[in-house]
Structures are given as structure tokens and as C-alpha cells.
Amino acid sequence: MATGLGSIYANHGTVGVIDTNLCSPTLPIQLAGTRLEQEHSLGRHLNRLGTNEIRPYFHQHPQCSGMFLAGLTDRDTFIDYEIGYEGIDRAREFLLQSEELLGTVILDCSVQRTDPFLPVMLREADCIVLPVVPSVDAVYWYSAILPMLQNAGVLEKTVPAATMVQPFHLISEVEGQLGIRFAAQFKYSRDVERLHDECRLATEEIWREGIAWTKNVHRLYDAVEARRDALDTISQEATE
């Protein structure tokens, strides 16, 4: 979803997609065939082992000239960057510099509680896309995180999207239970997942599923932009 949105934003300018997962390298998949040096790993910056200049940590995607990716390289290991919350200030610094360098910045946050970008994202993000697998478990999970979103004051800028959708999922029932409406519904497809890991959109290889996925990426993009416009209007009216 992050790289799919990045592909769209790259049509309007430059975009940086930052994978904050410090346990599982994804850049080797997204940038297959590209030699990635460990000193250009996001983990090095967060641990203050590398340069303060952020440009070396962004890698241009070979098939999308306007999209730049940051994350771990294939030379990192699981135990290299268990940095915890002491990296929050460094993560915020990286994000703010990225916003100065690039037109749009997308954080692909992990589910790790020690992800230093999570608190930064809650404070700084213009819009938050919340992926939800529309199963019975989602009802309990969403109920558990709802107080956090409310206390952080970010519920109004959160856009939920159904992911990993299977034929047996009762999406309308889950929406009713949660009191939300999914902006897009992404059907699970191993082939589509592989293509999007490589930052590619629909191809004839998986035409039907690929087109459906791409349409939902555009639906999500429209929902994000609509939410941002609405929040901007509210902010302007409050200022006046």
C-alpha cells in the first residue's frame, strides 16, 4: 500500500517511502539487483553510526524516477537495530529533513512497539492510513487501539483500509461493528503482493487482480487527499 501510494504521488513530484521496520529488510526486494551498502541503511542513521545528511539513505527506484526508498539493507541483521524509544528524537529529525527534501513523505510503520517512528507519526502525520484485516479479530483489535487514537487526537485524520481480504470476510458486518467505512478493499493475492513488494503496479501478468488492486490504491489516494483537504479547511476556519 505504501509503495502503491508512492507511485501515484510520484506522478506529481518527488516522494519518499520510509520503511520503519528495523527487523526485516525490504529494500533488497523493492530494489532487486541494486547493491545496497550497510552504511546507507536507515538503522545506521537512527543509531548515530552514519552521516547526518539524509540523502545517502534514500535510494531511487529504477522504475519510478520520482520515488525514493529508505529502510534496512540486506547487510543488516535482526539484532543490529533494536534501538527502542531512545531513537525517537533521531527518527523525528530524519522525518523533518525528509519533508524538506521531498514533496511527499510516506511512513510505512511497523507493528513493533519499539518503532521510534510511531510517536513521531502520531504527532506529525497529515493523514494516517490504518490497515485492518476485516475478520472477527479486527473488532477486538480496533476496540483496543481506539482509545490510543482518541487520546492522541488523531482519530479524525485516520483513514481505514481493508487489507488481506479473503472471500469469507464479511466486510459490511465488520464495518458495522467498528462504526467505520473502509476507504478501499485490498484482496489478498500472492502475485499482487509480490509485484507490489517490487513497487510495480498492475501488469498483464495478473491483469484482473492487478487492475482491481490498482483501482483500490487510487481509491485510497483519493480518500487520503479528501481527508487532508477537509482537515485543512477546518484548520483555516479555526484560524479565521
114-158 residue pLDDT tens: 788 888 888 889 999 999 999 989 889 999 989 989 998 999 999
CATH of domain 1-125: 3.40.50.300
The residue among 120, 110, 163, 119 whose CA lies nearest residue 138 is 163
pLDDT one-digit tens code per residue, 89-102: 888 999 999 999 99
pLDDT at 56 over 70: yes
169: CB partners within 8 A, 6+ apart:
133, 134, 135, 162
User: Taking the domains of the chain in order of start, what are their residue ranges?
Assistant: 1-125, 126-240
pLDDT at 161 over 90: yes
